[in-house]
């Protein structure tokens, strides 16, 4: 449960090889969205959709390294997924605008995608919706958690929560290990950097296309999985 302090120096702009995810990625997790510690929105301004720790067992990843990861999240159909579909104009401001624009062009349809015509239909349907995500698996050393948690930040602005909805997660890369922080402000600063790193990493075509994985919208028989 111990964690080192964040090292000094600049952070990498992307993680993972440019040609696409390499073993052990991609990793698949699944679970029902449940209420967490209530700190993401209220204290940090960065809401998270938590899934039960048993979601790691479903994927066979009980021993996964604690830290921050990025990838894609599929959410079962609900009010939230219909309000602001992926790639739509939204109020999401936690990612640098130029990074969000680059990710949108490659991932959600645009001149940079050969299959742009059907992209939004693929990502948003009656089966649910797929969004970019960055997630934390671990103990949150700054808050000295006594239990390990799986906290997914969906990089999109929603007008309502989606507790009780099922989420499938495709993890494509590792960003950094857990660190302890001298202040909440430093923690928030690093999380926002995580979001930018995730956005740049997912904007690369091999990673963007992983959002098409049918697994992300396959919720059949999963109503009780990891709940």
Is the pLDDT at 35 greater than 60, yes or no? yes
Each residue's pLDDT tens digit, 97-106? 999 999 988 8
Is the pLDDT at 14 greater than 60, yes or no? yes
Distance CA 115, CA 95 (A): 25
**Of the residues 43, 151, 159, 185, which is catalytic?**
151
Q: Is 146 a catalytic residue?
A: no
Is the pLDDT at 204 greater than 60, yes or no? yes
Architecture per CATH, domain 29-108+125-217, reads as Beta Barrel (2.40)
Structure tokens at 145: 């958690």
Q: What is the pTM of this model?
A: 0.85
Residue range 59-65: average pLDDT? 75
The domain limits of the chain are 29-108+125-217
Is the pLDDT at 1 greater than 90, yes or no? no
């Amino acid at each position: 449960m111990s964690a080192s302090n964040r090292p000094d120096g600049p952070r990498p702009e992307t993680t993972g090889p440019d040609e696409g995810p390499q073993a052990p990625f991609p990793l698949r997790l699944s679970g029902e969205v449940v209420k967490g510690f209530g700190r993401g929105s209220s204290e940090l301004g960065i809401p998270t959709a938590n899934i039960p720790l048993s979601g790691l067992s479903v994927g066979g990843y009980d021993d996964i390294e604690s830290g921050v990861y990025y990838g894609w999240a599929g959410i079962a159909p609900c009010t939230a997924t219909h309000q602001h579909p992926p790639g739509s104009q939204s109020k999401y401001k936690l990612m640098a605008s130029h990074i969000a624009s680059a990710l949108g062009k490659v991932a959600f349809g645009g001149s940079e995608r050969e299959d742009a015509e059907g992209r939004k239909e693929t990502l948003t349907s009656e089966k649910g919706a797929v969004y970019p995500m960055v997630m934390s698996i671990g103990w949150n050393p700054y808050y000295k958690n006594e239990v390990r948690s799986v906290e997914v930040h969906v990089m999109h602005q929603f007008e309502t929560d989606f507790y009780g909805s099922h989420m499938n997660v495709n993890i494509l890369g590792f960003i950094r290990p857990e660190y302890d922080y001298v202040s909440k402000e430093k923690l928030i600063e690093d999380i926002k950097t995580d979001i930018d790193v995730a956005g740049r990493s997912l904007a690369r075509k091999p990673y963007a296309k992983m959002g098409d994985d049918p697994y992300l919208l396959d919720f059949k028989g999963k109503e009780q999985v990891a709940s």
